[in-house]
Structure 1
């Protein structure tokens, strides 16, 4: 029995009350084994009487499987073709919407220290975006070690994000220090593993150090129990009936988590499992529960499992594992038991494991593929086959964005005899880390052995050449070299589905560079106009078409394409690892004046690519919004990342995007000297730019703007001529060309009348689709008109520009004198009572576009409850009672809400 302090009870009540009131949060109960963590969560459940409770228990470290917690909570992860943390979180949100109804929800997880990282990342995503949800996440965990669930720990450490109840226990730092003092030859990673295994109990930890040498502790798959603990457990087991002891052995063979008592009975061959389990529960050796579907049991403690498992004779263990393999139709679980039952090399089982790992690889389930490749390697009798399978395991780990390689894996990358295979994996590591120049150095020049069918596997040659093309694009290799690598890869006659994106993207770039946008457009000739009709395997092609349309200024069709890619990403249908296509969707929204939707897409793009580095195109694209909103520190931070990357790896397409973003930043700033000197300071970039055939309207527009600032008639003339030759131009391109022509005439000191006429034509031409740029050209029109004495024209243009800037929220342009208004004129503010948070503006923007609650939730990666929360806030601020009334109010006066481009 546990007696809780008033502090602990009041913390539980506060967490429950706050979640019940629509303020979601996290409760962390942290402590060593035996300190009552589970009992305290039981007390929490008893306190939260009106909550719908979803339970999950993590498996012991080493036995966890991806998505285990999510599946225990009922989230339909298995139905998702592609798995990303943000997509998993959305599936979990949909589960909450399903079970919650009118009741608050409690997500409970025991033994979080053992939880699979995929589930924990999904929970972190869920909490980061939860607002207004009647949700409490409660976890029991041993003290977290460095590197274990760091994302959730950082979020939980933020102000007001979590309640912490810390029970007794050794810290990981103390454990490391103790291990270093007693057994300095034991490595730090083994020390942390011992700490997790013993729950920080110093007596158990000391005992294991005393009883086992460092190498034994490092190599063992299941850490042992201390002798004294094992003896105590043996005495407990000896006191229970024989059937109970056999049932306990079966439970320990089946794993650390909750399992069906019927399965355990089948493995143990026990006729009356209920009585046997009851005796084990009375002895404190197992825990029981009775959910729907029959009784469930689990071993009481990890050390208990180790003690029982290691005391079971090996022949008996093998028999139990073989029986366990027959109790399940799950292929992976069955294979795990067959692995545990193996006594020696088993090439038949190794080949089966290798085939299973290959299927997982093709399906892009890379973490699991790596696991089964490792098992296949361990069971392979041929050393060369064993080495190749180990290399396959490392490659899959890297494709799954896992760069935390073991010491043995890193040694393999320097010592493997199969040089071609080893080189591919070394290059993959550098690519995942963003060191594309290093990868290029490893892969190029292509060794002659790749042309020898007898010397290198065709699949290895294909991978080598595809990764060479990818690295070449990012590291600034010549277009001819990239094209050659792709051509040679295609000629091999085999493909790796997991590298489809690595092959397709360089192909797009080669076409653009060699044949211009018209040549690249031919690639999409057979693609359905409706992107939703394109089959899944054409998703990358849809994304490429969307980017081409964006760069051509065809904003509405570009938005359709890229929004469909985003939809498939959010549904888990595709995996866009670096966030670039989602950032391009944000850019399309930004151009069209839908800055709230742009902000949501940009946040998703940064999160999607938040691995080892921020892709330079993403960094540059995301900087557009803070630049034009006046958040210059954030814009400069992003641009510095993009610049640093481009200095080291001059990727042509990233350089174009960087130029656009820098011109936008300079235009929003107030430093005329920096504008005038930009072309000169970036001469190498502009030299590459003018030599390229792959420029689109977006890049040429900004190059011409920079040329006007510099008074560079040659660069400006070239840019305007290049725009006129583009095969695809939007309606608003005529206004932009006249605007740029007028600026160039003004900057080069030619006939002022020509400049004025050009700006006058620009102001009268269609350009509403790009409101920020219409405002810019109106400001310039007002300035030139004022010089010519046309004050009435100047005032009208200035007022229209100011109204556009206001509606967008383009703060830098509303400073005195920047918008064409008289100095000292104050911008008309959005009504104070209607001032919205960023998330409210995003929800409102999607409501105005006709999206349902479910669609808005999926678009913004939030729950439907969060959507309802933000809409209720908007109703309260505006005095309406329905989304119909809210929509009518905003469409009647969009400027007061700061909403532009509102659908009619």
Structure 2
């Protein structure tokens, strides 16, 4: 570019400094992104060129990709462009080439790659695989050297590229990666799809927005002088007319200040070419911003010698530039647009037709040229192929667009089925599948329902409708559609069995097995999937008792017909039923079978492994759960699916196992992968998982994370995870009423049979106990809810084995209820300690805290000290700061000496000791001996009875006063003593010798 004379970058020092800051931060291990916006010709490419130069000088691996004006026709074009350039660049470095070759999904994007194109229809995970592969590729490459990835012209980006950019901007955190994107601000109309993406990106703290404004008068003058301008008057005129746009100023200078608009200026330069050169440049404009030399030669019809001379003329005028081994590129996109716009309609159609006839490679480009050339049969065939190609590349939005385009052309093309190579029903099903995979489930449902009204309804179509309705949370619709699918598929199987002379009475009994045995594989496949989907639809409905028979039948047909995805799905459903019914051993066996099947659908494979690990975890086998979860996490990573639904579920489960087992350093490492500042629901769910360990450890991140997650309290799952843990956080910080509000909000969204109710009810009862107010009805209701959830499964059927953790939380709820009533005993809390002692390290320690309080209240000081010391040691080792503070308070009131510091030098212990003062400092303080003197005689009498475990009603009867008066006395006592619960007040009474005095006894 002429502007690069003397390698001077004029007027962009502050913008470059900001970009260099992002680059330097990436080199230091803090990933970041920058988006550079500005009008066409304002200098975005020049600025990026300077940044790329500096990055290369610092040893960065540099990837540069460019979007094209074909829009959604070419998915992941800038990524494919960057990978292709690396393959063609001998200076790229072996580490960069090897890094790409390690990810087969990325190789699918590279033209000429030997990697297979994949199945006709994706599993719904292809895009997630590609996203995960790109993330893994950049992360692994950044371990060797930092990476700069530039995506130019995002205003032309396809949907898949836009989604990938958002994904990478969110997921890259500690990797040494810098992302940079450029876009034209003057191209962004009000509904441009890039607008919401930019708004979303600019909310992320890791993203820097840089806007290039017009250059000032002095800067423009320096720039024009650097270009060779010498006439002061002309320079002044150009500055006035160019309005701060460097590209426009350059063109005006080249035209010696002639009074043209920008398009006219550009075409004036074209018109100076010879006729053959003008014709060649027009053909190049139809090809796009870049063009292949051989293809351009064929379109132009010029002989080699004439072509070279003509091309040399164009290049010497700075209109086209050599583009490596690829061919040529227009010096600026504005130039290509001006030439293309100036084409006559017939000329444009003819040239597009020529490219369509000669073009090989991208079917999306071929479809584009066929449509522009009014070749509808060619456009239909190319659109179908482009849809298939987009599927294999993990671009479901683009695939759906291509398939929909083919459907729109269908009735305008004679003999469409032969031309397309596919029947219309299958094409519509593929389109609906692509819509579903892109997350537009409602569009998928609409397309399938429309298909049912225009084509002959089949079992396969009804099964797809049921499958999509399950994901759309339309339980009734899914059940009805699945029932119809099974009915139609069963009719076919019975008919086929009857044709083989099976008696009518026994036809149904033999049909399912006979169907597959005699080779009608398609019918067997459809029946197996219909049955599996029907069982899945009924699993959590009131017809839960029908699921076992249906899933068993699905398993039989799937095995006979050799349909591994239906077989695995049926096994998972059967295992879920067994687990609900308390047949834990059978559930584990079934899930072991399911997780050992390679179904051909990674979503089902990961789902099987997840549930296999989950069942072991929920029933207390932490070691087995950890091993199985690790296998799933490894599979998800290797296939690029770490951020898929079950990939993230497996990592969360692994975090939970670490958390329960007391491996908080490892749990924190997993939690750190989940972003704090989120703006999408899936990210909010992941972020909420991190709160388990962060709340328990008192991490400073909790407040910020909860502030961001507050925007997602409309979602039931987020409410359960986040507000449930927010209640615990509030309790640890003395905000009891906020905790009660959180609990009430969670219980509004949980169904009565959900096991999660038990933990939430236990936390709610903890809050009521801390209030120090008599709320027997509310406490009774919470305990009732916990007991209902512990005994009732889906459809009001009896729940099977609750599992050790569920039983432990129920014991905790019972104990907290007794705290509310003032009737807690050491035996009550001993039962909680024993229940959690299946390996839940933290909850054992937290229960020992309450057990120690109860023992003190009963006068068993030595036993209380023993439990207290064990809890302190665990809290110190874990780094459980809130629990450690609570134990310190109890230790001060009881005048316990601090236990010996843990000998462990683990990171958890180090974190614990650095979070506050030393253990000795925490526990050596004496209690406030003047607190007792602040109590009136009546309050001391009430406190003495509280210490005996009497309720407010019983105290009122003993002292012959109103129960409300007792409640007021208790509240005053708690405030004066500076404690937050009756149990703590009772412990203080024993410490001061009040408990031995029992007035009225």
- How does the TM-score come out when normalised to structure 2? 0.60
1:141-160 matches, cutoff 5 A:
141-143=183-185, 145=191, 147-148=193-194, 150-151=196-197, 153-158=199-204
Indicate whether 1:28 and 2:41 are aligned: no
Indicate whether 1:783 and 2:783 are aligned: no
Residue 12 of structure 2 aligns to a residue whose secondary structure is helix
Q: 2:632 aligns with which of 565, 568, 571?
A: 565
Residues 130, 393 of structure 2: 8 Å contact kept: no
Structure 2 CA distance for partners of 1:519 and 1:897, relative to 1, 3 Å? farther
Over residues 51-70 of structure 1, what are the superposed CA-to-partner deviations in whole Å (9 max), with x where a residue is unaligned? Answer: 43321111225345333323
1:842-881 matches, cutoff 5 A:
none
Work out the CA distance in 1 between the residues paired with 2:491 and 2:127. Answer: 38
Count of aligned positions: 735
| Range with greater deviation from structure 2 (309-318 or 701-710) | 309-318
Work out the CA distance in 2 between the residues paired with 1:402 and 1:253. Answer: 34
Residue 27 of structure 1 aligns to a residue whose secondary structure is strand
Residue in structure 2 matched with residue 798 of structure 1 by the alignment? 868
Work out the CA distance in 1 between the residues paired with 2:445 and 2:316. Answer: 44
Q: 1:696 aligns with which of 786, 792, 803?
A: 803
Q: 1:323 aligns with which of 340, 355, 358?
A: 358
Structure 2 CA distance for partners of 1:235 and 1:497, relative to 1, 3 Å? farther
Q: 1:386 aligns with which of 412, 420, 424?
A: 424
Residue 29 of structure 1 aligns to a residue whose secondary structure is strand
Structure 2 CA distance for partners of 1:16 and 1:109, relative to 1, 3 Å? same
Work out the CA distance in 2 between the residues paired with 1:669 and 1:639. Answer: 23
Residue 892 of structure 2 aligns to a residue whose secondary structure is coil
Residues 430, 436 of structure 1: 8 Å contact kept: yes
Residue in structure 2 matched with residue 480 of structure 1 by the alignment? 546
Residue in structure 2 matched with residue 902 of structure 1 by the alignment? none
Residues 64, 114 of structure 1: 8 Å contact kept: no
Residue in structure 1 matched with residue 783 of structure 2 by the alignment? 679
Work out the CA distance in 1 between the residues paired with 2:631 and 2:679. Answer: 22
Indicate whether 1:37 and 2:44 are aligned: yes
Residues 31, 176 of structure 2: 8 Å contact kept: yes
Residue 510 of structure 1 aligns to a residue whose secondary structure is helix
Work out the CA distance in 2 between the residues paired with 1:495 and 1:374. Answer: 32
Indicate whether 1:164 and 2:271 are aligned: no
Q: 1:628 aligns with which of 683, 690, 696?
A: 696
Residues 779, 819 of structure 1: 8 Å contact kept: no
Structure 2 CA distance for partners of 1:6 and 1:331, relative to 1, 3 Å? closer
Q: 2:438 aligns with which of 393, 400, 417?
A: 400
Deviation at 1:523? 1.7
1:592-603 matches, cutoff 5 A:
592-601=661-670
Residues 250, 320 of structure 1: 8 Å contact kept: no
Residue 691 of structure 1 aligns to a residue whose secondary structure is coil
Residues 149, 178 of structure 2: 8 Å contact kept: yes
Deviation at 1:519? 1.0
- Structure 2 stretches of 5 or more lacking a match? 84-99, 109-117, 119-124, 216-244, 246-260, 418-422, 496-519, 722-743, 917-1001
Deviation at 1:591? 0.7
Deviation at 1:791? 1.9
Residue 64 of structure 2 aligns to a residue whose secondary structure is strand
Structure 2 CA distance for partners of 1:122 and 1:647, relative to 1, 3 Å? same
Residue in structure 2 matched with residue 577 of structure 1 by the alignment? 645
Residues 620, 639 of structure 1: 8 Å contact kept: yes
1:540-551 matches, cutoff 5 A:
540-551=607-618
Structure 2 CA distance for partners of 1:419 and 1:488, relative to 1, 3 Å? same
1:333-348 matches, cutoff 5 A:
343-345=375-377
Indicate whether 1:16 and 2:20 are aligned: yes
Residues 624, 665 of structure 1: 8 Å contact kept: no
Residue in structure 2 matched with residue 374 of structure 1 by the alignment? 404
Work out the CA distance in 2 between the residues paired with 1:232 and 1:412. Answer: 52
Residue in structure 2 matched with residue 192 of structure 1 by the alignment? none
- Structure 1 stretches of 5 or more lacking a match? 170-200, 202-227, 712-742, 832-886, 900-904
Residues 85, 121 of structure 1: 8 Å contact kept: no
Structure 2 CA distance for partners of 1:112 and 1:43, relative to 1, 3 Å? same
Residue 73 of structure 1 aligns to a residue whose secondary structure is helix
Indicate whether 1:821 and 2:891 are aligned: yes
Work out the CA distance in 1 between the residues paired with 2:684 and 2:569. Answer: 15
Residues 582, 799 of structure 2: 8 Å contact kept: no
Residue in structure 2 matched with residue 182 of structure 1 by the alignment? none
Deviation at 1:800? 2.7
Over residues 336-357 of structure 1, what are the superposed CA-to-partner deviations in whole Å (9 max), with x where a residue is unaligned? Answer: 777877834479x75x976886
Indicate whether 1:98 and 2:132 are aligned: no
Work out the CA distance in 1 between the residues paired with 2:780 and 2:697. Answer: 22
Residues 57, 111 of structure 1: 8 Å contact kept: yes
Indicate whether 1:116 and 2:158 are aligned: yes
Residue in structure 2 matched with residue 204 of structure 1 by the alignment? none
Deviation at 1:12? 0.7
1:29-68 matches, cutoff 5 A:
29-45=36-52, 50-51=57-58, 52=60, 53-68=62-77
| Range with greater deviation from structure 2 (640-649 or 371-380) | 640-649
The structure whose RCO (Cα within 8 Å, separation 6+) is larger is 1
Residue 547 of structure 1 aligns to a residue whose secondary structure is helix
Deviation at 1:553? 1.6
Residues 628, 665 of structure 1: 8 Å contact kept: no
Deviation at 1:324? 1.1
Residue in structure 2 matched with residue 843 of structure 1 by the alignment? none
Work out the CA distance in 2 between the residues paired with 1:402 and 1:530. Answer: 29
Indicate whether 1:300 and 2:300 are aligned: no
Work out the CA distance in 1 between the residues paired with 2:378 and 2:745. Answer: 51
Work out the CA distance in 2 between the residues paired with 1:798 and 1:120. Answer: 55
- How does the TM-score come out when normalised to structure 1? 0.65
Structure 2 CA distance for partners of 1:461 and 1:756, relative to 1, 3 Å? closer
Residue in structure 2 matched with residue 137 of structure 1 by the alignment? 179
| Range with greater deviation from structure 2 (508-517 or 582-591) | 508-517
Deviation at 1:518? 0.9
Deviation at 1:377? 3.3
Deviation at 1:611? 6.7
Work out the CA distance in 2 between the residues paired with 1:819 and 1:338. Answer: 78
Residue in structure 2 matched with residue 590 of structure 1 by the alignment? 659
| Range with greater deviation from structure 2 (484-493 or 156-165) | 484-493
Indicate whether 1:78 and 2:106 are aligned: yes
Residue in structure 2 matched with residue 716 of structure 1 by the alignment? none
Residues 72, 158 of structure 2: 8 Å contact kept: no
Work out the CA distance in 1 between the residues paired with 2:897 and 2:583. Answer: 44
Indicate whether 1:265 and 2:297 are aligned: yes
Q: 1:656 aligns with which of 755, 777, 794?
A: 755
Work out the CA distance in 2 between the residues paired with 1:309 and 1:544. Answer: 63
Residues 363, 383 of structure 2: 8 Å contact kept: no
Work out the CA distance in 2 between the residues paired with 1:461 and 1:433. Answer: 22
Work out the CA distance in 1 between the residues paired with 2:766 and 2:688. Answer: 15
Structure 2 CA distance for partners of 1:129 and 1:656, relative to 1, 3 Å? same
Residues 261, 297 of structure 1: 8 Å contact kept: no
Work out the CA distance in 1 between the residues paired with 2:869 and 2:312. Answer: 81
Work out the CA distance in 2 between the residues paired with 1:623 and 1:891. Answer: 17
Structure 2 CA distance for partners of 1:554 and 1:96, relative to 1, 3 Å? closer
Structure 2 CA distance for partners of 1:525 and 1:263, relative to 1, 3 Å? same
Residues 613, 628 of structure 2: 8 Å contact kept: yes
Residues 660, 842 of structure 2: 8 Å contact kept: yes
Structure 2 CA distance for partners of 1:813 and 1:646, relative to 1, 3 Å? closer
Residue 210 of structure 2 aligns to a residue whose secondary structure is strand
Deviation at 1:162? 0.7
Structure 2 CA distance for partners of 1:122 and 1:63, relative to 1, 3 Å? closer
Deviation at 1:565? 1.6
Work out the CA distance in 1 between the residues paired with 2:365 and 2:565. Answer: 24
